[in-house]
């Protein structure tokens, strides 16, 4: 039983270790692939050492460590294309209707204001979907406005919640930031 838990633990660990390939995300798919492969080999080597030379175990750990890389490679190119395709509309709509969206005139469209905007019947269904898109991608389009820290007695850890808001400046720079992020994808 203990061996099984150890194995599951190592599988999780190798998966998270493999996720570090995301660190070179902006350098493009080739860099992600290379770093992912190196991390997998390191994980396999460690697995090989601690299991006294079990090759199947090393291969299993290498495969698990490489899963995040496959996920990044498979999803990122599409994500980038989709975001870029809708960005012009989002920015145009956001800037044109900024006053209607920023109901308290704070200069930032808060998460609550986005939620309200998404159900605002003054907007067409297409416009409401644009607001939903803004909300779904608020961390990418906007900026951090607040972080809440709460003590969680169950896990004895501090849980944090990050809030995002979208300003006019965020909207104006969004397409440029997007192009930079996905430039090699
Ligand atoms: Ca506001």
Contact between residue 165 and residue 8 where contact means Cβ atoms under 8 Å apart: no
List the one residue out of 168, 183, 176, 171 whose CA is nearest residue 141. Answer: 171
Distance 60 CA to ligand 1 centre (A): 50
Q: What are the sequence ranges of the domains in the chain?
A: 2-78, 97-173
pTM for this prediction: 0.79
Range 97-173 has CATH code 1.20.120 = no
How confident is the model over 39-79, as pLDDT tens digits?
A: 999 999 999 998 888 999 999 999 999 999 999 999 998 99
**Each residue of 65-123: pLDDT tens digit?**
999 999 999 999 899 999 999 999 999 999 999 999 999 999 999 999 999 999 999 99
Q: How far is the CA of 114 from the centre of ligand 1 (A)?
A: 9
> How many angstroms separate the alpha carbon of residue 81 from the centre of ligand 1?
30
Cα Rg, the chain, nearest whole Å: 22
Gap from CA of 145 to ligand 1 centroid (Å)? 11
Q: What is the pLDDT of residue 1?
A: 72
Contact 138, 111 (CB under 8 A): yes
Question: 22 versus 7: which is more confidently predicted?
Answer: 22
């Amino acid at each position: 039983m203990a061996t099984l838990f150890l194995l599951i633990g190592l599988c999780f660990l190798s998966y998270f270790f493999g996720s570090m390939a995301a660190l070179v995300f902006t350098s493009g798919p080739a860099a992600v692939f290379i770093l992912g492969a190196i991390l997998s080999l390191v994980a396999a080597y460690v697995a090989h050492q601690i299991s006294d030379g079990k090759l199947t175990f090393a291969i299993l750990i290498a495969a698990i460590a490489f899963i995040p890389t496959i996920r990044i490679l498979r999803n990122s190119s599409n994500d980038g294309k989709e975001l870029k395709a809708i960005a012009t509309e989002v920015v145009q709509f956001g800037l044109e209707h900024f006053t209607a969206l920023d109901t308290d005139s704070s200069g930032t469209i808060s998460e609550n204001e986005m939620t309200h905007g998404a159900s605002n019947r003054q907007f067409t269904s297409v416009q409401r979907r644009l607001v939903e898109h803004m909300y779904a991608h608020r961390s990418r389009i906007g900026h951090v406005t607040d972080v809440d820290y709460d003590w969680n007695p169950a896990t004895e850890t501090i849980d944090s919640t990050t809030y995002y808001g979208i300003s006019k400046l965020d909207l104006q720079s969004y397409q440029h930031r997007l192009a930079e992020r996905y430039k090699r994808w």
